[in-house]
Amino acid sequence: MHDGPRTARGSDRCTARCTARILDALDRDGDRPVLHATSGSTTAGALSAAVAGAVQVLSGRGVGPGQTVAVLTATNRPATLAARYAAHLLGAATAHIRSNNPRGDDAGLAAAQQRHLLDATGSTVLVVDAEHLDRGRELVAVTGPRCALAAFEPLGDDVLQLRSTDPGPLPVVVPADTDVAVIGTTSGTSSQPRATCHTFAAWGATVASFPGAGDAGGPGTLLVVTPLSHTVAPMADAVLAAGGTLVLHDHFDADGVWRAIGEHRVTDVYVAVPHLNQLLDAAARTTVDTSSLRRVIYSGSPAAPRRIAAAVGLLGASLVQLYGTTEAGGIASLTALDHAEPELHGTVGRPFPWVDVELREPGRRTVVPRGETGQVWVRSSTVMAGYLDDVDGTAAVLQDGWLDTGDLGRWDAYGYLHLRGRTGDVIKSRGLKVHPAAVEVALLEHEDVVGAAAFGAMSSDDVESVHAVVVLRPGATGTVDGLRVAVGRRLDPAHVPTTLVVLDRIPLTPSGKADRARLRAAVDRAVAGPGAGRRRSGARRNSGVAVRGVQSAATAAAESGRGT
């Protein structure tokens, strides 16, 4: 059994071939339902016809290599796939402008951000659905005649309908490997999202890295609960190309996921770490059927080792962790076999065979010795070509074929990668460098903790110190002081949080990462607020999260009779 993605192929124009393979698979059995969505099921023949019609109409408008088709549709709908496949068959790129969140679609981009992406990509067509028609009209009114509004359904005289009655052969174009296939979005340092450019070669290699067929050669069934505009998209392509089926959910719902797994005999699902935790909680409330699962892939924020152990107990050999970034694609994996070793649960596994990884001294090209922390640099066939219209930003992260992920990590003696946080998050505490990820892992190893985030903050006398927030399991009996002591025992006094706050949940950014700005605000207000001396001193609302308790270093010392 192969637990993780298979070897990625090189740059052999396999994206165009992959899209053609998808259509071939659809045409072999036109009556077979291949998409199951909230709006109903779509047969292979209907999806193939939708793609063919869009190809004919877009080709008539002159869409081809070097051009971009923007997509603004509801999450995980057949139109999302059909628009991308049609554009790729014509050698054009696609840009999804609804959201920049790879693990959820609850926070859409603002109109100004979407206008920026339309302008930056030079999109000549904007594909919308009924739900986004008004926003689409608003956007093309600004771009002028350069960008046409289009849809797969009749939405008005001003909307180009992507349907054709022409039975002739499709005008398929084979693009160059270096042509851009997908323009993704990720959070940037300014108010505008950052656009990542992925070539046809890189996208094809990413699709090739995921095994779309079952282990016995049979077709797979992928449950899609995160946006098709991001990480799960190449997985979906691989499954359809192998003759498989997609189950499309508009959003993540743990009970709905378990029902779908049983109803559709789902073989694969990709989730974020918070989703995995919710699946475990839902499974504890009722009986679930895991017999069809071959891969439950999770990624994102750090996971509590205790929760991963519980997931192994429930999911067995189907559990796989993926470490990757929007810019790099997949980097490393903790396989199902690795999950059988509890001491590996705090790692992100080992690099894929097609990925080279180096840990370098910050700001230098010198590789650090094994066991020491360095910046994670990767070289792979799946790495992006660069940031759109950002020469300086691209040059800062791409050098001689290597990508600086911005992550910090260290190798252990067995070649497993331990992430230590981000380069900009390192805290100088008591003259020592403290990596927030190390504090988070130490907190997550406590039996009462189900979520944790650590960060640095400057005091009024310009001294930086460690602060942290935790989410406790229901019925937790531990104290904040006990958690701080546990961190000190596992690490050292420099890592012990000066202030530790208990929250009902960890606030997240649109990309699914801990929102450190809101966390800092929550800690500041909790420390300044009345009755903040003890953990159970009463609930208040801070920065959109419920603060259940707080303890500072001075309070802990007074209560325990110990200094920090």
Q: Which of 183, 200, 217 is the last residue of a domain?
A: 200
Domain count for the chain, please give it: 3
Task: Kindly state whether residues 25 and 95 are assigned to the same domain.
Answer: yes
Tell me the per-residue pLDDT of 232-282, one tens digit each, with 9 for 90 and over.
Answer: 999 999 999 999 999 999 989 999 999 999 999 999 999 988 899 899 999
Identify the pLDDT of residue 527.
Answer: 72
Helix, strand or coil, per DSSP, at residue 135:
helix
pLDDT of 375 higher than 60: yes
Statement to judge: residues 175 and 101 lie in one domain? yes
| Domain at 85, CATH number | 3.40.50.12780
**Residue 156 forms part of a structural domain:** yes
Distances, alpha carbon 138 to alpha carbons 95, 128, 450, in Å: 18, 12, 43
- 457 strand-pairing partners: 465
pLDDT of the residue at 430: 62
Same domain, 343 and 264: yes
pLDDT of residue 512: 60
The model's pTM is: 0.81
Pair (23, 71) in one structural domain: yes
Residue 259 is given by DSSP the state H
User: Could you tell me if residue 237 is inside a domain?
Assistant: no
* Co-location of 261 and 402 in the same domain: yes
Q: At what angle do helices 436-444 and 480-490 cross, to 10 degrees?
A: 120
Do 545 and 508 share a structural domain? Answer: yes
- Asked whether residue 268 falls in the same domain as residue 393, the answer is yes
Boundary residue ending a domain (367, 400, 423): 423
State residue 262's pLDDT score: 96
* Position 415 in a domain: yes
| 281 and 372 together in one domain | yes
Q: Flag whether 119 is in a domain.
A: yes
Helix residue ranges, H only, 216-272: 232-241, 254-264
Question: Residue holding tokens 């559709």?
Answer: 264
Rounded to the nearest 10 degrees, the angle between the axes of helix 78-89 and helix 232-241 is 80
Do residues 372 and 449 both lie within one domain? no
Q: Are strands 329-334 and 350-351 parallel, antiparallel or unpaired?
A: antiparallel
pLDDT band at 106 (very low <50, low <70, confident <90, very high): low
pLDDT tens profile 30-75? 999 999 998 899 999 999 999 999 999 999 999 999 999 999 999 8
498 within domain boundaries: yes
Residue 528: CB atoms within 10 A of its CB come to 10
Boundary (domain end) residue, out of 423, 446, 466:
423
Q: Which two tokens stand for residue 410?
A: 């260290």
- Cβ-based neighbour number of residue 416 at 10 Å: 21
What CATH number should be reported for the domain holding residue 503?
Answer: 3.30.300.30
Considering the domain architecture, whether residues 395 and 533 belong to the same structural domain is answered as no
197 vs 374: CA distance, rounded Å? 26
Query: Residue 150 is encoded by which pair of tokens?
Result: 């289009």
Count of helix runs (H) and strand runs (E) in the chain: 16, 29
- Return the beta strands (E) in 263-312 as ranges: 268-272, 295-299
Residues 360 and 504 in one domain: no
3-state secondary structure of 512: coil
Q: In this structure, is residue 497 part of a structural domain?
A: yes
The encoded tokens of residue 402 equal 């290597």
What is the per-residue pLDDT for 164? 85
> Given the structure tokens 């840009």, which residue do they identify?
95
Dist CA 252 CA 245 (whole Å): 18
Beta bridge mates, 502: 470, 549
Within-domain flag for 227? no
Q: Is residue 1 part of a domain?
A: yes
Supply the range of the domain harboring residue 326: 252-423
Percent of the chain topping pLDDT 70: 85
pLDDT tens, position by position, 467-500 = 999 999 888 888 888 999 999 888 888 889 988 9
For 5, 35, 211, 318, 544, the CA distances from 215, given in Å and listed in that order, are 12, 21, 9, 12, 45
Tell me: the pLDDT tens digits for 210-228?
Answer: 887 655 557 899 999 999 9
For 138-179, the pLDDT digits (tens) are: 999 998 888 999 999 999 999 999 998 777 788 778 889 999
Q: Is the same domain home to 493 and 468? A: yes
The pLDDT-based confidence of 358 (bands split at 50, 70, 90) is: very high
Of 537, 544, 511, residue with least CA distance to 196: 511
Q: What span, in angstroms and rounded, lies between the C-alpha atoms of 213 and 378?
A: 28
pLDDT at 270: 96
Binned at pLDDT 50, 70 and 90, residue 433 comes out as confident
Q: Tell which wins on pLDDT, 53 or 11.
A: 53
Q: Identify the pLDDT of residue 107.
A: 59
